[in-house]
């Protein structure tokens, strides 16, 4: 039971207004090429400390996209969380999350980035453990600890910035002779990798689907995971050759892994999470090629249609009785026509079908990568990942909308709730228009692509052939073969186990030894207990002369006297 | 009791002995002052009228006489051309009189047997004469001086760790303070006098509170009055004695540490600091048992053991009457 009957609507309305203001500011700033710094200068003579907010075209666009998505998500969660008793906690966490993200976006100063970054990590933990079950609790733990590794990296780089002189990295972007060592770029890249769930740290993203669906739509599709990409875009001046090469390798592997795992996955939200992961890999790939503005553009469009995808998923999950297993979906297009349309829109734009949003951003990345490419293996892997994306998207669509219905019988498959549908429709319109609009706003002139014919047709060929392959696989051939591959991919290439149980088991064994033998054993003996025992024994020794015998006292005096006399003489 | 004619005569004799020692031109007159001091103090020890007290007074008399013999012999050796030997024997005798380590063993049994007022006099007033003579004759350049100072500091600290009687704790703390006092005197008379006066004040407050509550053992401390003001008073008095800032007892220690460091006597400074930690530990251990139990509940104000003037003494001895303002200068 909420405090105010119209609380969600009020929050959503406020966010929409804020988004419009920021959106128009962003358009104005991008057209005039101006950046606004708002600075609060604290401190007097000896200590100078300033809090700076940067309103750039990049930050204004990102902030307006985040606000648009969050406004829709808050409106959606009005009816999604209506039956939940802890809805107050939910809305507080969501508002806190949006605030942290806003702080992260508008700060050019690594200290306030840390504020937003840490806030994001903590609040996403609070949101993942929202439902009281052990699965949520372990998912939350792996989320917050993976994010914590990134926090540590940012803290270390703060120390580095302190030695260089200024926390505001927007200044360093303008200078040409920065003496940043390779460690700072490595640390920042590592922080971005943990937040955006690249290969060593990708265990948390599918696990975090234990959160409620609006949370997944807001947090895990568009804002939290894109914070890492945004950090790398802001720190574009710092990425050198070797870091870019490392990042390229990692992002290609992430794309490939998430694509393969998504084909064999049966949890609806996990498939969408893995598709987020593969798109994040695509963004990191673009960054490693040096295409920062294109990566940013893909970030924005992806945020919009991924949030749309999650919201539609929420409606479908509600519809088939709160189960997330895709085997109980099927033939839902008959009962959810509007949701089918929007979800298809989102999926097709994810695949990169021409003239939808994904085409403008993802296809641009692919074509520019063909131009900039680093080797044939990279190109091949990129096309393979493209086709993998199409494969799992088509599988998703087929299994939820086309195939035979596999769920229970006492369900309410209908779409009459307007406060669930309206955000979906709004987001679908926005994501439809966002592709061309953002590309006209971000790029002042179209990019020149100069490619041989087979590379130009390559993307489209891979997309179409993947559609054909998957449809035929679903209809004609049964997926019983490749048992080992299924197991391997089903456990997500054993990454969660590797970073979770195996690591903690070995570490805890060692930690037990350290605690019992060293800390509570020998260290106590040598440092605290030992010193007190030594002091006590010295004191007891000195008390041996305190016996109540005057003769002994005088003997001691005379012995000292004789010793001194002998010394002198 | 202390204004009865016999004890008044003894008190006046002690004051006379101090005047003798201060104003004497030669060592032998000072020796007379020391002897007068010893003899006049004995009835104060015997004021308690028990067998233990008479035993303590005999021990005191014998020890102090031995020390005076050594002082006299040392003084005589000045006339013969044995200068180094003379100062050594003189220092030895004075250390025995002071109760400085390694000649401290006699102080404990006497302290245990005497009442609170004689204990206070033993620990402070009886030290004035030997300290004055120390300032006159012995100097920092003697190696034996260092031996006495360092062993006083260390013995006072470490030997007090296993003590449970309040009197022995105060004894060992005074042995520690003798180390500080001797270093202070070796710099100049005014520094030593300053330290001595503040030591007297802080010790006065602590002993006054112990006397009022009639506490002799660490077992009796949990039975202190339930009023937090009384417990706090004792706590702060002990902390001031131990030399914790912002109390009064920190100021002379700070001064001496600064002098020690500026004269590059770093070993002495280091030992001073570490041993004051140990001393502070056993004060805190005293008060720990007092705070843990909470004490006896006193319901009527009239049976409060602390009369009102104690608070005035405490005010001056703990805060120095606002002397802590010196920190802000």
pLDDT one-digit tens code per residue, A252-302: 999 999 999 998 888 999 999 999 999 999 999 999 999 999 999 999 999
pLDDT of residue A150: 93
Residue of A nearest to B110 (CA): A548
Residue indicated by tokens 């251990």: B285
- Asked if residue B301 has pLDDT above 60, the reply is no
Q: How far apart, in whole angstroms, are the C-alpha atoms of residue A134 and residue A121?
A: 20
For residues B133, B139, B144, B145, the Cα torsion angle rounded to the nearest 10 degrees is 70
Give residue A45's pLDDT: 66
* Contacts A554 to B, Cβ<8 Å: 62-63, 66
ipTM above 0.85, yes or no: no
A542 to chain B: which residues are within 8 Å by CB? Answer: 155, 158-159
Please tell me the distance in Å from B207's CA to the nearest CA on chain A.
23
In a domain, residue A144? The reply is: no
Residue in chain B nearest A544 by alpha carbon: B105
What percent of chain A clears pLDDT 70, i.e. is strictly above it?
96
- Both A459 and A552 in a single domain? no
For position A477, what pLDDT does the model report?
A: 58
State the Cα torsion B304-B309-B315-B320 to the nearest 10°: -150
Q: What is the mean pLDDT of chain B?
A: 88
Residue with tokens 């003697």: B142
* pLDDT of A417 higher than 90: no
Q: Has residue A70 been placed in a domain?
A: no
Q: Is 80 exceeded by the pLDDT of residue A80?
A: yes
Q: Looking at the partner chain, which of A542, A568, A569 has a beta carbon nearest the beta carbon of B155? A: A542
Give the one of B92, B105, B106 whose C-beta lies nearest to A564's C-beta: B92
Distance from CA of A553 to the nearest CA of B (A): 6
Give yes or no for residue A322 having a pLDDT over 80: yes
| A548 at B interface, C-beta within 8 A | yes
Same domain for A443 and A297, yes or no, is yes
A556 and A414 belong to one structural domain: no
Give the span between the Cα atoms of A59 and A105, in whole angstroms: 6
Instruction: Report yes or no: B215 and B231 within 8 Å, Cβ to Cβ.
Output: no
Express each pLDDT in A51-65 by its tens digit: 889 999 999 999 999
Does residue A46 fall inside a structural domain? Answer: no
Enter the pTM of the model: 0.67
| A158 assigned to some structural domain | no
- What does the pLDDT look like over A184-218, one tens digit per residue? 889 999 999 999 999 888 889 998 998 999 999 99
Residues in chain B whose Cβ is within 8 Å of chain A: 59, 62-63, 66, 70, 84-85, 88-89, 92, 96, 102-103, 105-106, 108-109, 144, 155, 158-163, 278
Residue A427 maps to a domain: yes
Residues A538 and A469 in one domain: no
- Judge: A538–B158 Cβ closer than 8 Å, yes or no: yes
A476 touches chain B (CB under 8 A): no
Q: Of the candidates A545, A546, A553, which has its C-beta nearest B63's C-beta?
A: A553
A 10 A CB-CB count for A444 gives 9
Interface probe for B, chosen from A536, A538, A542, A561 (most Cβ of B below 10 Å), is A542
Cβ(B124)–Cβ(B243) below 8 Å = no
User: Closest Cα partner for B274 from B128, B176, B145, B137?
Assistant: B176
pLDDT at A319: 85
Nearest to B201 by CA among B240, B253, B255, B153: B240
Out of A171-180, A218-227, A450-459, B248-257, which region has the weakest mean confidence (pLDDT)? Answer: A171-180
Of B59, B88, B96, the CB nearest to A550: B59
Secondary structure (DSSP) of A169-187? HHHHTT-S-----HHHHHH
Q: Name residues whose C-beta falls within 8 Å of residue A389's C-beta, 6 or more positions apart in sequence.
A: A259, A275, A278, A279, A350, A351, A352
- The answer, yes or no, to whether residue A71 has pLDDT greater than 90, is yes
Alpha-carbon distance values, A342 to A75, A349, A426 (Å): 17, 11, 10
As a whole number of Å, the CA-based R_g of chain B is 20
In which band, very low, low, confident or very high, does the pLDDT at B204 lie, cut at 50, 70 and 90? very high
Q: Tell me, what's the pLDDT at B227? A: 73
Q: Å from B241 to nearest chain A CA?
A: 21
CA distances from B262 to A77, B47, B145 (A): 72, 46, 19
* Residue B321 confidence (pLDDT) above 80: no
| Nearest alpha-carbon partner for A103 in A91, A115, A118 | A115
Residues of A in contact with B158 (CB under 8 A): 535, 538-539, 542
Give tens-digit pLDDT for A10-63.
999 999 999 999 999 999 999 898 899 998 887 766 667 788 899 999 999 999
Tell me whether residue A384 is in a domain: yes
How far is residue B247's CA from residue A523's CA, in Å, rounded to a whole number? Answer: 35
Least confident of A224-238, B87-101, B188-202, B293-307: B293-307
Q: Is the pLDDT of residue A498 over 60?
A: yes
Same-domain status, A465 and A546: no
Query: Each residue of A455-487: pLDDT tens digit?
Result: 888 888 888 898 888 888 877 655 655 677 777
Single out the residue of B110, B99, B109, B113 nearest to residue B216, CA to CA.
B113
Q: Give residue A560's domain range.
A: 534-568
A537 touches B at CB < 8 Å:
no
| Residues A403, A280 share a domain | yes
Q: How many domains are contained in chain A?
A: 2
A273, A379: one domain: yes
Residue A544 confidence (pLDDT) above 70: yes
- Whole-number pLDDT of residue B271: 95
pLDDT computed for residue B303 by the predictor:
60
From A353, A248, A369, A265, select the one nearest A305 (Cα to Cα).
A353
**Chain A: residue nearest B89 by CA?**
A561
Contact A368, A257 (CB under 8 A): no
A487 in contact with B, Cβ within 8 Å: no
- Cα–Cα distance measured from residue A128 to residue A181, given in angstroms and rounded to the nearest whole number: 37
* pLDDT value for B152: 95
Which residue stretches of B214-325 are H helix?
228-242, 250-262, 266-293, 309-319
Q: List helix spans (H) across A443-500.
A: 453-475, 483-490, 495-497
Nearest to A550 among B62, B89, B108 (CB): B62
Say if CB A264 and CB A214 are below 8 A apart: no
Same domain as A463, residue A320: yes
Find all residues with CB under 8 Å of B14, minimum gap 6, and list them.
B36, B37, B40, B41, B121, B125
pLDDT at position B325, please? 65
- For the ranges A241-255, A447-461, B95-109, the lowest mean pLDDT is seen at A447-461
Q: Answer yes or no: is pLDDT of B302 > 60.
A: no
H-helix or E-strand spanning residue A148: helix A134-164
**A321, part of any domain:** yes
Q: Which residues from A are below 8 Å from B66, CB to CB? A: 554, 557
Q: Is A569 on the interface with B (CB under 8 A)?
A: yes
Q: Please tell me the predicted confidence (pLDDT) of residue A538.
A: 85
Instruction: Tell me the CA end-to-end span of chain A in Å, nearest whole number.
Output: 97
Share of residues in chain A with pLDDT > 90 (%):
41
Picking from A430, A455, A476, the residue at the C-terminal end of a domain is A476
A107 part of a folded domain: no
């Amino acid at each position: 039971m909420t405090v105010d009957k119209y609380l969600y609507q009020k929050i959503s309305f406020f966010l929409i207004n804020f988004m419009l203001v920021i959106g128009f500011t962003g358009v104005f700033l991008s057209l005039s090429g101006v950046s606004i710094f708002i600075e609060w200068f604290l401190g007097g003579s000896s200590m100078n400390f300033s809090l700076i907010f940067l309103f750039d075209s990049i930050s204004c666009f990102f902030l307006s996209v985040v606000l648009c998505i969050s406004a829709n998500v808050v409106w959606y969660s009005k009816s999604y969380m209506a039956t939940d008793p802890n809805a107050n906690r939910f809305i507080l966490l969501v508002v806190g999350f949006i605030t942290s993200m806003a702080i992260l976006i508008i700060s050019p100063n690594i200290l306030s980035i840390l504020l937003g970054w840490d806030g994001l990590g903590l609040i996403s933990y609070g949101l993942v453990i929202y439902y009281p079950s052990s699965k949520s609790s372990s998912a939350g733990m792996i989320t917050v600890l993976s994010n914590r590794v990134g926090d540590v990296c940012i803290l270390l780089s703060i120390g580095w910035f302190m030695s260089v002189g200024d926390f505001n990295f927007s200044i360093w972007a303008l200078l040409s002779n920065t003496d940043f060592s390779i460690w700072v770029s490595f640390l920042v890249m590592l922080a971005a990798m943990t937040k955006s769930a690249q290969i060593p740290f990708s265990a948390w993203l599918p696990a975090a689907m234990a959160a409620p669906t609006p949370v997944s739509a807001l947090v895990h599709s568009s804002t939290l995971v894109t914070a890492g990409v945004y950090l790398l875009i802001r720190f574009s001046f710092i990425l050198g050759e070797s870091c870019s090469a490392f990042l390229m390798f990692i992002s290609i592997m992430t794309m490939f892994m998430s694509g393969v795992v998504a084909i064999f996955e049966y949890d609806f939200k996990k498939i969408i999470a893995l598709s987020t992961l593969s798109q994040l890999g695509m963004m990191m790939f673009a960054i490693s090629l040096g295409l920062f503005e294109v990566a940013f553009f893909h970030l924005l469009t992806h945020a919009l249609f991924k949030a749309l995808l999650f919201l539609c998923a929420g409606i479908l999950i509600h519809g088939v009785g709160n189960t997330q297993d895709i085997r109980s979906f099927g033939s839902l297009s008959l009962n959810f026509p509007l949701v089918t349309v929007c979800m298809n829109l989102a999926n097709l734009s994810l695949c990169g079908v021409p003239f939808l949003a994904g085409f403008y951003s993802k296809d641009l990345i692919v074509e520019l990568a063909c131009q900039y490419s680093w080797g044939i293996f990279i190109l091949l892997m990129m096309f393979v990942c493209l086709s993998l994306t199409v494969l799992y998207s088509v599988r998703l669509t087929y299994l939820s909308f086309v195939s035979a219905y596999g769920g229970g019988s006492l369900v309410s498959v209908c779409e009459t709730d307007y406060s669930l549908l309206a955000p979906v429709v709004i987001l679908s319109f926005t994501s439809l228009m966002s592709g061309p609009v953002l590309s006209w706003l971000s790029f002042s002139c179209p990019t020149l692509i100069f490619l041989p014919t087979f590379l130009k047709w390559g993307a489209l060929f891979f997309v179409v052939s993947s559609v054909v392959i998957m449809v035929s696989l679903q209809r004609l051939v049964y997926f019983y073969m490749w048992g080992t591959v299924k197991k391997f991919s089903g456990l997500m290439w054993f990454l969660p186990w590797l970073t979770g149980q195996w690591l903690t088991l070995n570490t805890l064994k060692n930690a037990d030894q350290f605690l019992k033998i060293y800390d509570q054993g020998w260290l106590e003996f040598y440092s605290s207990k030992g010193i007190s025992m030594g002091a006590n024994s010295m004191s007891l020794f000195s008390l041996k002369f305190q016996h109540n015998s005057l003769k002994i006292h005088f003997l001691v005096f005379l012995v000292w006297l004789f010793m001194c006399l002998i010394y002198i003489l | 009791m202390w204004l009865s004619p016999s004890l008044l005569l003894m008190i006046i004799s002690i004051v006379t002995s101090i005047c003798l020692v201060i104003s004497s031109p030669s060592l032998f007159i000072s020796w007379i002052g020391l002897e007068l001091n010893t003899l006049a103090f004995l009835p104060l020890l015997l004021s308690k009228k028990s067998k233990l007290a008479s035993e303590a007074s005999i021990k005191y008399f014998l020890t102090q006489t031995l020390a005076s013999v050594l002082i006299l012999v040392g003084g005589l050796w000045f006339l013969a051309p044995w200068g180094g030997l003379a100062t050594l024997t003189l220092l030895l005798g004075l250390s025995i009189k002071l109760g400085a380590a390694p000649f401290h063993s006699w102080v404990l049994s006497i302290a245990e047997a005497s009442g609170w007022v004689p204990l206070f006099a033993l620990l402070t007033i009886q030290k004035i004469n030997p300290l004055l003579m120390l300032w006159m004759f012995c100097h920092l350049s003697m190696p034996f001086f260092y031996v006495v100072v360092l062993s006083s500091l260390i013995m006072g600290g470490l030997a007090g760790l296993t003590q449970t009687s309040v009197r022995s704790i105060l004894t060992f703390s005074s042995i520690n303070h003798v180390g500080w006092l001797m270093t202070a005197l070796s710099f100049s008379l005014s520094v030593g006098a300053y330290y001595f006066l503040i030591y007297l004040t802080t010790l006065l407050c602590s002993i006054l509170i112990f006397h009022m509550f009639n506490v002799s053992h660490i077992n009796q401390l949990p039975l202190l009055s339930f009023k937090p003001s009384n417990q706090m008073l004792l706590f702060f008095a002990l902390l001031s004695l131990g030399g914790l800032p912002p109390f009064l007892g920190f100021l002379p220690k700070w001064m001496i540490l600064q002098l020690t460091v500026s004269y590059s006597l770093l070993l002495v400074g280091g030992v001073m600091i570490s041993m004051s930690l140990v001393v502070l530990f056993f004060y805190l251990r005293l008060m720990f048992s007092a705070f843990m139990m909470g004490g006896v509940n006193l319901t009527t104000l009239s049976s409060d053991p602390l009369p009102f003037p104690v608070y005035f003494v405490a005010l001056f001895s703990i805060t120095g009457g606002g002397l802590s303002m010196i920190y802000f200068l």
